[in-house]
């Protein structure tokens, strides 16, 4: 049996003149968390829809759990779960009834003990008789996940599962996902949040249907080979405009009350930056060299691609 849950070779999908996915090559290990990030229109949802058999690829070879997606999808489907962005719960059914419904359509007979375990696990037991239409966004997402887990899939695909969910529910959701990984369930998810991408075993950056990178979060950050500095100043906009005139600065990113700049030399020091800014008549209140973040790397790569996320 392959150690990989998913193997993708030269996957291509077009819609008319738009290339949604352009010769994608990926492997995803069993029992790992694989996170796909990228701007809107990058092809993230299309990739999940192909892996779950909703959309047919134009070209490429895709294996999920060792089986060919083009010819053996019916054998794959019982072992996978898919939470779409607009996952359909039955609003006029209770939490218990929704889980029961999903158990029955997947022909799970002895589901009651598993349902109780899931409700405990999701901290939903005291709400089990509440109509799902009356739940908060975070509770709906947890219920949607419980409905998927009732039939014990080997891979779960999640499309931006925490978008629009409050911070406490987001934290709960991540604790749940961490336990699923311990149970050797493979998780493939998309997210717009860089702090979530940091938690993955492997991340992939998609842009305009192309795979820009796939690696561990740490290796991605180390791949930058640039110096990153936090600059604080009393006049963010003026300083930002002045910084644009310095050719050795390869990237300028505004974050509220600070500016992140990226220098093209990894050995640049804070003193070098202060001297450079002073020479250009730029007044700052502080400068600090920092380790690159995923956001720094991704914005830099997308900038090179000519995309402003």
Residues in Cβ contact with 197 at an 8 Å cutoff, skipping those fewer than 6 apart: 35, 37, 191, 203, 217, 294
Query: 254 in helix, strand or coil?
Result: strand
How confident is residue 265, by pLDDT bands cut at 50, 70 and 90?
confident
d(CA 137, CA 14): 33
Domains in the chain (CATH in brackets) are 4-221 (3.40.50.300), 225-291 (3.30.70.980)
Bridge partners, 12 (sequence order):
59
CA angle 263, 266, 268 (to 5 degrees): 65
Confidence (pLDDT) at 283: 80
pTM for this one? 0.85
- Around Cβ 96, how many Cβ atoms within 10 Å? 18
Q: What is the pLDDT of residues 59-116, one digit of tens each?
A: 999 999 999 999 999 999 999 999 887 667 888 899 999 999 988 888 888 888 889 9
How confident is residue 218, by pLDDT bands cut at 50, 70 and 90?
very high
26 close to 8: Cβ distance less than 8 angstroms = yes
Confidence (pLDDT) at 306: 62
Q: What is the pLDDT of residues 129-162, one digit of tens each?
A: 999 989 888 888 889 888 888 888 999 999 988 8
d(CA 184, CA 306): 39
Bridge partners, 185 (sequence order):
none
> Which residue has better confidence, 255 or 210?
210
- State the average pLDDT for the chain: 88
d(CA 297, CA 305): 12
Q: What is the mean pLDDT of residues 15-39?
A: 94
Residue 225 has which token pair? 């080979």
* Nearest residue to 302 via CA among 220, 234, 224, 205: 205
Confidence (pLDDT) at 308: 47
142 close to 166: Cβ distance less than 8 angstroms = no
The conformation of residue 55, written as its DSSP 8-state character, comes to S
d(CA 233, CA 237): 9
């Amino acid at each position: 049996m392959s150690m990989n849950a998913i193997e993708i070779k030269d996957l291509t999908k077009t819609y008319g003149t738009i290339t949604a996915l352009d010769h994608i090559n990926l492997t995803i290990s069993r029992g790992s968390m694989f996170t796909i990030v990228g701007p809107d229109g990058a092809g993230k949802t299309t990739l999940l829809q192909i892996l779950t058999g909703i959309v047919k690829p134009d070209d490429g070879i895709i294996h999920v759990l060792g089986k060919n997606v083009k010819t053996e999808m019916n054998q794959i489907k019982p072992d996978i779960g898919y939470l779409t962005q607009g996952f359909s719960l039955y609003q006029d059914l209770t939490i218990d009834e929704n889980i029961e419904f999903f158990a029955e359509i997947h022909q799970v007979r002895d589901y009651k003990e598993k349902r109780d375990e899931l409700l405990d696990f999701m901290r939903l037991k005291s709400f089990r008789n509440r109509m799902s239409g009356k739940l908060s966004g975070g509770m709906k997402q947890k219920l949607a996940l419980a409905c998927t887990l009732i039939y014990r899939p080997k891979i779960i695909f999640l499309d931006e599962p925490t978008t629009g969910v409050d911070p406490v529910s987001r934290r709960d959701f991540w604790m749940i996902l961490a336990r699923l990984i311990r149970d050797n369930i493979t998780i493939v998810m998309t997210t717009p949040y860089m702090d979530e991408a940091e938690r993955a075993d492997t991340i992939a950056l998609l842009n305009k249907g192309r795979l820009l990178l796939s690696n561990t979060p740490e290796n991605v950050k180390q791949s930058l080979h640039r110096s990153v500095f936090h600059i604080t100043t009393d006049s963010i906009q003026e300083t930002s405009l002045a910084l644009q005139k310095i050719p050795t600065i390869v990237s300028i990113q505004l974050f509220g009350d600070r500016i992140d700049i990226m220098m093209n030399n990894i050995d640049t020091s804070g003193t070098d930056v202060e001297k450079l800014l002073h020479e250009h008549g730029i007044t700052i209140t502080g400068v600090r060299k920092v380790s690159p973040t995923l956001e720094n790397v991704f914005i830099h790569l997308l900038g090179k691609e000519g995309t402003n996320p």
